Chains A and B, each alone.
Chain A
């Protein structure tokens, strides 16, 4: 089973001299083959940089990023990314978008056409194949993007908060979709998010990251049965314990992040500090 990725002693910084901004320092991270690894950490802790390194859009300043032991070159179809905002080509309809990869690599149509059609069917977009991305809803765009990536049979799928911005209900349905797709294809997934519920529902392996420098704070094995159903996960105590553990870790990281001057975490602690709430009026007593 291939598709295992590993980061060893990876460091990454932007700018030179006085304006040098180290984002990653000595990061070691394992993304095991055939499993769904979810990476969660406070916003602004360098998760997007990690995505770019895994995808090969950027080189690490130090250390190595390997796929099945071999160092990773530039971007290629073995490691495909699904971005936060849709990267569907707006000027191509859904069918052309999905067919783009195989066509660009000169694969003969008989090689990919049946599979593309099947994928479109699988994500429920066969009826919308002729539509342009701007004519699709947020959820449908995300499904088209998943199909566009999967048609290239990548060994690793890297997703950078792909469902952020969707309304909660569409997100829930997308979670189910994505989990089923994973259980069918069993390709290595590296899913980055800030949403704890999303992380617990999807993950085989939940990696909580620390802040500045970004390191693995703790790895939690999510041994919930598959296929996962929202109602079961909500009711499961095991899932609840994992969520509590992750929440506590993240709050501690936010505390450290705040000391590092990150504004986002600053709000967190400002509100969080005044837990001693004043005496509370309830609507009934006063009316």
Chain B
């Protein structure tokens, strides 16, 4: 009987775990295709795009008349020689995307670099929080865009104010969520580590940081969204390149289809960047992913 136990107790070889996960993912995908879900989602898009097309270009409803139509925008977007100079094939389109993405990346990195440590300290040491959090909480409610004039005063040129605004939004979101993350760590983990002889700084490194990680990544995802929010505003007010700038100038120069191109691109790039953050989170916190996957 003990032979039965020894053989079964040995955990199955990890390779099987890997293969099993891939098989399960493939199976889930097949089930998703078979289910009505993707087709209904497509129906949703068709309905919205269809209404937009009909309202503007076919029925020409009041108010919709002046708007850029679906077909017009699509033709502009995919033409080799776009009327207003911006389409998939013009390098300028990618220059603007790059300008915006670079600004968000720069501001997001800075916000993470400053926000996460500050959040960890705010959550970990009560003294530090009692001194620093009141000022933090006083500045946080001020709408990011109210900082625009001050940003222009404080920073020379047109580039740094935009970066500052984008940074500010992300910074507050990241620091706050990191702090909440530290506070939400189950106290028994901290106590267990102290029982096992860990000194305070070891508790910080081995318990507080990994324990707060899930909330840190929630914060980072919000921070990316907020970064794009304030980037657009910044670029509209004082930018020279970037998607916000494109949208604004397209409006002033009556290049309406380009407005829509700008908006859709912003949506897509914004979605991609937050997906990137989600993936990084999932990869860094593998122990969580396994929790839902393999636990029998």
Contacts and interface: CB of A to CB of B under 8 A. Distances in A.
Contact of B27 (A19, A255, A266): A19
Interface in B257-285: none
A270 B5 contact: yes
B294 to A, nearest CB: 11
A273 B1 contact: yes
Nearest to A269: B5
A273 B27 contact: no
B4 interface: yes
Contacts of B9: 266, 270
A92 interface: no
A4 B63 CA distance: 68
B156 interface: no
Interface stretch (A59-67, A80-88, A256-264): A256-264
Nearest to B26: A18
Contacts of B27: 18-19
Interface string A249-287: 000000100110101001001100100000000000000
B83 to A, nearest CB: 52
Contacts of B5: 258, 269-270, 273
A255 B5 CA distance: 10
Contact of A261 (B2, B8, B23): B8
Contacts, number: 20
Contacts of A255: 1
Contact of A263 (B1, B4, B23, B296): B296
A270 B2 CA distance: 8
Interface string B60-102: 0000000000000000000000000000000000000000000
Contact of A273 (B2, B23, B296): B2
Nearest to A44: B296
B296 A259 contact: no
Contacts of A258: 4-5, 8
Nearest to A263: B296
Nearest to A18: B27
A269 B27 CA distance: 33
Interface in B1-47: 1-2, 4-5, 8-9, 23, 27
A259 B5 CA distance: 9
A259 B1 CA distance: 11
A255 B8 CA distance: 12
A18 B1 CA distance: 31
A36 to B, nearest CB: 33
Nearest to A272: B5
A261 B9 CA distance: 9
A18 B28 CA distance: 11
B247 to A, nearest CB: 44
B40 to A, nearest CB: 20
Contacts of A273: 1-2, 5
Interface in B203-220: none
Contacts of A19: 27
Contacts of A18: 23, 27
Interface string A1-45: 000000000000000001100000000000000000000000000
Interface of A: 18-19, 255, 258-259, 261, 263, 266, 269-270, 273
Sorted nearest first, the 5 A-B pairs with minimum C-beta distance are A273-B5, A273-B2, A263-B296, A269-B5, A19-B27
11 contacts: A18-B27, A19-B27, A258-B8, A261-B8, A266-B8, A266-B9, A269-B4, A269-B5, A270-B5, A270-B9, A273-B5
Given A266-B8, A269-B5, 18 more contacts: A18-B23, A18-B27, A19-B27, A255-B1, A258-B4, A258-B5, A258-B8, A259-B4, A259-B8, A261-B8, A263-B296, A266-B9, A269-B4, A270-B5, A270-B9, A273-B1, A273-B2, A273-B5
